Amino acid sequence: MSVAILGGGIMGLSLGYCLARQGVAVEIFEASPVLGGLAGPLVLEDGVAVDRFYHAILSSDSHLLGLFDELGLADQFRCRETRMGFYHQGRVYSMNNLVEFLRFPPLGWIDRFRLGLTILYARRVRDWRSLEAVGVEQWLLRLGGRRTYENIWRPMLKAKFDGGFDDTPATYIWSRLVRMTSTRRGASQKELAGHLIGGYATLMQAMARSIEAVGGQVHLQSPVQQIVIEQGRARGICLNGERRTFEAVVATMQAPIFRRLIPDASPEYQSYLGQTEYLGIVCPLLVLDRPLTGFWTLNITDDRVPFTGVIETTAYIDPRYVGGHHLVYLPKYTAPGSPWQTMPDEEIRSIWLKSLTEMFPDFDPRSIRYFLVHRERYVEPLHRLNSAHLIPDVQTPVKDLFLVTTAQIYPALTNGESVSRHADQAAQIIRQSGQGSSVVSAGLPRPVPAADRAAA
Ligand SMILES: Cc1cc2nc3c(=O)[nH]c(=O)nc-3n(C[C@H](O)[C@H](O)[C@H](O)COP(=O)(O)OP(=O)(O)OC[C@H]3O[C@@H](n4cnc5c(N)ncnc54)[C@H](O)[C@@H]3O)c2cc1C
């Protein structure tokens, strides 16, 4: 079976790695000059490579850790205890253990107790489908009460969804709570986050080498122009104006990009794909000569701050691995059509720095070595209430054409762990179809979040 895989991000490479090891002849086509997609690297002016966006690997990411073992990368994985905090009404609060939690001033005793119960309850939910029809606001109000909702959840959700989240199901916050608490171990409840030396690029390169070692091919700077569809069947791809024939084609990019590559698919399928929406991101990276907060994540519950959080990855990456720099990302998630996406870099810089200086009066702008604004339009698929039927299947209506994309990952959050797990499951579907089994188009078995795995 010869398979063209479109996209050299974590999804495309994980899929290529799985299929190539099972004897499938794969060729990966990546539009950009480097592998990695959203998890790709960025080379600073001084030649140091860093992750373009922040990427933590958690100690509970068992699938990824398994991949590191298989690829001989385990000794390049570094993991550290980290700290997280809250920025609330002009002050930073550490929130790392029970004592700090019980002292958190915006909440009274009963609120704190209910917040604790919300987290415990979330970890015990077995059937996420029961949350699919419940709004996130309703769920959080019921479990945690009004004060916790107004002080913590509402501002965080507003920032994450760039305004409205009325039709967001409770599954969103449930998945997040499960992931964020899955790494806390033992009585100390310490939080562990990690990275590969060299960032996610190290994993991508290792997977590419492994694919090539068994005869597969990885092509960079190869933007596929169109997927060739004839008589309801995918026949290959169009690249640099030339046709290349394959027995199957797998697209791993986001649905709106995929849609543009299939002008010959039915209008019904195209308009179905058009219903998949994404959050985008505007994410300045501050490269500093000193630490800023010491927290890996600082959640912001203040509407006046334009960014969603302060993420300092050098809280868990030893700066010696990134040229002695301190890396701080200040992401702003953007709703479809958000004006933040088109705002000039200079304007973003001035708004962001004004806010940062107000938050941290000791912050010295002279500590900035680089201020780099990065943007992406399709980052996180948006799932609305009762809309699981809008999740596209891996098997498309076009024979021998498959879509393996982050929009299919639900209710788990999209990250390296869930993406590589999903790619594994999708590889089985593609292999089965190549062996002539009919694929039931009832959707993919959804990745099971950590709490359910533990319970299973
Ligand atoms: C700000 C931010 C923070 C994140 N934090 C974390 C984190 O802490 N931990 C974690 O594990 N994950 C994190 N993630 C999520 C993670 O980066 C993504 O889930 C993952 O990278 C998605 O990979 P993908 O391969 O599905 O998609 P992509 O990375 O988007 O890959 C798709 C690829 O397809 C290519 N492509 C598009 N069109 C064509 C074409 N016509 N021809 C050929 N190639 C094409 C693109 O160039 C791209 O490389 C974060 C993401 C962001 C943006």
Q: Which of left, alpha, beta for 242 (phi over 0: left; psi -120 to 50: alpha)?
A: beta
Element (H, E) at 160: helix 154-160
Residue nearest to atom 5 of ligand 1 (CA): 55
Query: Phi, psi (5° rounding) for residue 179?
Result: -65, -45
Say if CB 37 and CB 55 are below 8 A apart.
no
Which two three-digit tokens encode residue 361?
A: 């009066």
pLDDT of 450 over the 60 cut: no
What pLDDT score does 436 carry?
A: 58
Q: What is the pLDDT of residue 438?
A: 46
Confidence at residue 243, expressed as pLDDT on a 0 to 100 scale: 97
- Give the C-alpha distances (Å, rounded to integers) separating 120 from 36, 123, 125, 157, 444: 35, 5, 9, 20, 28
Closest by CA position to 23, among listed 205, 215, 217, 249: 215
pLDDT digits (tens, 9 = 90+) for 382-398: 999 999 889 999 999 99
Instruction: State mean pLDDT over 40-64.
Output: 95
pTM for the structure as a whole: 0.92
pLDDT at 189: 57
How many Å lie between the centroid of ligand 1 and the Cα of residue 375? 12
Distance (Å) from CA 414 to ligand 1 centroid: 9
H helices present in 92-149, as ranges: 98-103, 109-124, 136-144, 146-148
> Within 6 Å (CB) of ligand 1, which residues are found?
6-12, 29-32, 37-39, 53-56, 223-224, 252-253, 257, 261, 281, 283, 331, 376, 379, 406, 414-417, 419
Ligand 1 centroid from CA 26, angstroms: 20
Q: What is the pLDDT of residue 437?
A: 52
Ligand 1: which of 50, 55, 180, 259 to mutate, judged by most atoms within 8 Å of the beta carbon?
55
pLDDT (tens digit per residue) in 380-439 = 999 999 998 899 999 999 999 999 999 999 988 899 999 999 999 999 999 988 775 544
Containing 369, the helix (H) or strand (E) segment is: strand 368-382
Phi/psi for 6 (5° steps) reads: -100, 115
Least confident of 18-32, 48-62, 441-455: 441-455
- What Rg do the C-alpha atoms of the chain give, in angstroms? 22
Residues 69 and 174: their CA atoms lie apart, in Å, by: 30
For ligand 1, what atom is nearest to the CA of residue 379?
53
pLDDT digits (tens, 9 = 90+) for 304-341: 899 999 999 999 999 999 999 999 999 999 999 999 99
pLDDT of residue 440: 39
Rounded to the nearest 10 degrees, what angle do helices 136-144 and 171-182 cross at? 60
Q: How confident is the model at residue 125 (pLDDT cuts 50, 70, 90)?
A: confident
Task: Return the residue whose CA atom lies nearest to atom 26 of ligand 1.
Answer: 11
Is 455's pLDDT higher than 50?
no
Atom of ligand 1 nearest to the CA of 14: 25
| Region 106-135 average pLDDT | 87
Average pLDDT for 143-150: 91
User: For a pocket test of ligand 1, which of 253, 260, 312, 375 has the largest count of ligand atoms closer than 8 A to its C-beta?
Assistant: 253
How much of the chain, in percent, has pLDDT values that exceed 90?
74
| The pair of three-digit structure tokens given for residue 225, joined into one six-digit string | 């122009």
Q: What's the confidence (pLDDT) of residue 30?
A: 98
Higher pLDDT, 181 or 321: 321
- Distance (Å, whole) CA 289 – CA 319: 10
Provide the pLDDT for residue 287. Answer: 98
Q: State the closest ligand 1 atom to the C-alpha of 11, by its place in the atom list counted from 1.
A: 25
How many angstroms is it from 381 CA to the middle of ligand 1?
A: 12
> In 3D, which of 343, 349, 337 has the Cα closest to residue 277?
337
Q: Which of 49-53, 127-131, 151-155, 437-441 ranks highest by mean pLDDT?
A: 49-53
Ligand 1 probe mutation, 84, 415, 421, most atoms within 8 A of CB: 415
What does DSSP say about strands 326-329 and 49-51: parallel, antiparallel, or unpaired?
A: unpaired
Question: pLDDT exceeding 70 applies to what percent of the chain?
Answer: 93
Q: DSSP for 233-259?
A: EEEEEEETTEEEE-SEEEE-S-HHHHH
Q: What's the mean pLDDT when you consider all of the chain?
A: 90
Query: Does residue 4 contact residue 27 with C-beta atoms inside 8 Å?
Result: yes
Give the model's confidence band at 444: pLDDT under 50 very low, under 70 low, under 90 confident, else very high. very low
Comparing C-alpha atoms, which of 404, 414, 284 is closest to residue 355? 284
User: How does pLDDT run across 20-35, given as a tens digit for each residue?
Assistant: 999 999 999 999 999 9
